[in-house]
Amino acid sequence: MFRILIIFSGVIALFLLTTGVLSLGIWARTERSFPAPGNFIEVDGAQLHYVEQGRGRPIVMIHGSMLNTRDMEMSLFPPLVSDYRVIAFDRPGLGHSTRAQGQDLEDPRNQARLIHAALGEMGIAQPVIVAHSWGGAVALAYAMEFPQDVKGLVLISSAAYPSNEQIGLYNLAQMPVVGSVARHTFLPPLMLAARPTLLDRFFGPNTPPPEYLDQVGLSLMTDSDRFLNDAMDFNAVGPALAQMRNGYRTMRTQMIIVTGDEDRAVSPEDNSYRLHNEVVGSEMIVLEGIGHMPHHMATDEVVEAIVTMVER
């Protein structure tokens, strides 16, 4: 029995050593392939990375879970930057933005405060905020706390209400000791192997653009800190939205809600439809046959909604 235990322990140690070395190679290759494309601004101890193009009325973009500025930049910047000043932030702790310790930045309300402070330092007032998925919770928090400082919201496949969904790997990543070992060994190659499944969740029933993986930098999520930050965000958003939802009926911020009717990641019925029914004066655009990524699969319709909001 003792011999079997020794052999088993040796196999586990060899597995962790092998995957740890593999993960180091994955991180090094990813960082070389996806350097920070924009600029940084320091706010409350965090370095926020942002990409900015164009001139004119300001549009601020906030990405969803697992993603970064590239996701919205590659689809929405080209049709907008000729007429508007477009800024996309990496949310704190994701992409190339850092997360200061002890600030509870997994809470979307605190992320909203940080972005608001950054925009104040940049001299940007009354932007239209365009937010996707998890980023929608940040946009809603922004409008609820700083209603005088936002012109309007365009929410794309937005999370707006708590969900009971659990992701096992995210729970594992947050475990003391074991989570750290997992994030530094077998989780990075597992993340790479899971990309087809993730793309199906993001885009299904649609087919992602052929260049999506090469451009978006989804593999940045193989980094231990980014993975942990996204796991913390995912598990914290439900309790935050449970509190935020109490204020939806009193919101008076202009709002256009865009959703695909076949979203497999964020239920339209449980989020976009409910939000539209609660927010007075909100408008909703339902895109038939579209999944979780309307800004890629129905770009013209999303751009039209953004321009409509900006030009009001």
pLDDT digit string, tens, across residues 95-108:
999 998 777 899 99
Total count of residues recorded for the chain: 312
Q: Which has more pLDDT, 11 or 289?
A: 289
**pLDDT confidence of residue 33:** 85
Q: pLDDT tens digit string along 254-300?
A: 999 999 999 999 999 999 999 999 999 999 999 999 999 999 999 99
* Domain range annotation of the chain: 2-310
Is residue 166 very low, low, confident or very high in pLDDT (cuts 50, 70, 90)? confident
Give Rg (Cα) of the chain: 20
Work out the average pLDDT over 132-140: 98
| Statement: residue 11 has pLDDT above 80 | no
**How much is the pTM?**
0.94
Instruction: Write down the pLDDT at residue 102.
Output: 74
Could you give the 3-state DSSP secondary structure of residue 222?
helix
The answer to whether the Cα torsion of 90, 268, 262, 296 is positive or negative is: negative
- How many H helices and E strands in the chain? 13, 8
User: For the stretch 262-274, what's the b/e string if a residue is b when 16 or more beta carbons lie within 10 angstroms of its beta carbon?
Assistant: ebebbbbeebbbb
CA gap 52, 31 in Å, rounded: 21
In CATH terms, the fold of domain 2-310 is Rossmann fold (3.40.50)
Q: What is the mean pLDDT of the chain?
A: 92
Beta bridge partners of 39: 50
6: confidence class by pLDDT, cuts 50, 70, 90: low
Please give the Cα distance from 157 to 215 (Å, whole number).
21
Residue 63's nearest CA partner among 221, 269, 224 is 221
Backbone angles phi, psi at 103, to 5 degrees: -110, 5
| Cβ–Cβ < 8 Å for 93, 226 | yes
d(CA 239, CA 165): 12
Measured between alpha carbons, how far is 27 from 188 in angstroms, rounded to an integer?
8
Give pLDDT tens digits for 195-205. 889 999 999 99
Q: Residue 25's pLDDT is what?
A: 74
Report the 10 Å Cβ neighbour count for 278.
16
Longest dimension (CA), the chain: 75
- By the 8 A CB rule, do 134 and 85 touch? no
DSSP helix/strand/coil, 43: strand
% of the chain with per-residue pLDDT over 90: 75
* 83, burial (CB in 10 Å: exposed 0-12, middle 13-18, buried 19+): middle
Q: For the sheet containing 46-53, what is the strand order?
A: 39-43, 46-53, 85-89, 58-62, 128-132, 152-156, 254-260, 283-287
**What number is the average pLDDT over the span 33-58?**
95
Phi, psi of 144 (to 5 degrees): -75, -35
Query: What is residue 5's predicted lDDT score, i.e. its pLDDT?
Result: 65
SS3 310: helix
